[in-house]
Structure 1
Amino acid sequence: MRFGFLITFALTLTLPVAAVAQSLGGLGSTDSFTFSLSPQYPTPHSQATLSFVSGSVDLANATVAVSVAGKNIYNGSVQPLAIALGGAGSLTTIKVIVTSNATNYSQTLTVQPQDVALVVEPISSAPPLYPGKSLVPLEGSVRVVAVAHVRSAGGKVFDPSALSYTWTIDGTQIINSSGIGKETVIVASPLQYRARKVSVAVTSQDGNLAGGASLSLTAALPSVRIYENDPLLGILYDRALSGAFTIRGAEVTLYAAPFSLPTTNGTPLMQWFLNGTAAQTGNFITLRPTGSGKGNASLSLVASSDTSTKVTTNLSLLFGATAGSNFFGL
């Protein structure tokens, strides 16, 4: 899944932040300011940004002291700070003390990152044995799979099928596709030149562990390629035919390979046209020039799905050319 025509790019996010406000003896009110980490689901071994907001404390004229796991990492003016996080399931405790007008305000935040990734599997066409992946199809569908590696602080790894998955598409929660063990969702492709956001929240059944991931899908134009099918070597995938093609023997067989056409309701239809007249359907066509002398013809190929998505390619055929005089007759 890491190689392909269009690599599914996967955004990996992690489990959310569990915050506990905590007052220290003799200090000011804990609700005088709030702070948060972004992104909401930071990845393991990453850095998250700590930000501060207050409606009652003048943060512009205040100072802040920040400690992580009991170690002081910052003293100074109030500003966003980068916080280094540990591995999946590890606990990182962040303590913040804001000082304003000789009064201290304290809060504590505990972060437990988890590893959640999304894998995109376009439901679209690609040639057999193609070593890559097709693109997100226009007017088609995409399968999105959540790969969750959730563990407790003690190192216990949770079975992904026992976790609860909440899917959201363009801000709308998909109830029917959400629930325990529902690691996969089928998403309709976005319109051309638009994007579709897919996100998932993953939680343990007791709600103590949670994580998430999101990505943006964009659809790409489909394409169809014509290759020569050599009697000995098979389909010559290393060179797609375009422009003009010379038929040097008594016959030639060509193969049509559709890329990224929707396959939700079946394989795409291949329709060949010779000089504007429908010749045959299917991925293969065999051409046999007749008569004597040189000539030319136009070959067109229309690939279509069960939707209105179509793609066309054209080839100019030359035949009856004089063979070369080298040793191999080429």
Structure 2
Amino acid sequence: MNEFPISNVIILAIVIFLIYGIFFLVKQQTAAIMERFGKFQSVRDSGLQLKIPLIDKVAGRINLKIQQLDVIIETKTKDDVFVRLKVSVQFQVMKDKVYEAFYKLENPQSQITSYVFDVVRAEVPKMVLDNVFERKDDVANAVKSELNEAMQDYGFDIIKTLVTDIDPDEQVKISMNRINASEREKVAAEFEAEAERIKIVAKARAEAESKRLQGQGIADQRREIARGLVESVDVLNKVGINSQEASALIVVTQHYDTLQSLGEETNSNLILLPNSPQAGSDMLNNMVASFTASNQIGETMKRVDEENRKKREKGEG
């Protein structure tokens, strides 16, 4: 049995070493830093790349994708409220400054974090707590402006900064919730009071309108009754019945009409007194006596006034 020559094994090992030593791959959105004898030689882009074995070395690889760093800072507002802010920084290595990004900064995340702390702790203490919520975009823009100015020299571009969370102290949040609840209860009470007032006003207006219409109806009723009486007297006068006789007839007629209507009410407990045929005549006699007395008093007053007037005229003459 023939043994495999050792020389062939050595040659095969050298070939494999050369293949793996000459060729290397660079992934998409990645840059490779090449060094020759420990000195920067070039930046290689994505794809299949060549290098000289034992002379060239891949010193490192740089991620060219957009990355995000979340920084949590605790600081104090102008009104002495401790608050925690979460600032998200989106950054990317600039393709034309891969050398600076690799060699100038050992830990870019730590550098970015330091700048975020510095800017936030300079901006937030200028604001009261409510303004921190309202002007969080101003804080984010200040962070981005400061970071862009500082990090571009190191090969990093700040894409966007966002204040994604504002978390006050727990006791402060409880107090704010109580204040908001009280405000809402106050507004609800005002709306309820206004609704009650509107109902009362509407009810009062409806009652007033009802009374007005009721009064108008009573006035119209009385007016029609008076008109009917006048017409009845005129009709009776035309057939030779004088005013007193007409009045007596009308009173008696209304008296018995009333008795008839009361009799038709089966559930009525009303008793009309006096209740006799002579009642109508008595009412008429009383009315005539009253009219006669009133006329006599009126004539006497006129006669006295006339005598007084003549005495004054005689005295003046």
TM-score normalised by length of structure 2: 0.28
Structure with higher helix content: 2
Higher relative contact order (CA 8 A, sep 6+): 1
Pick the structure with greater CA Rg.
2
| Greater fraction of residues in strand | 1
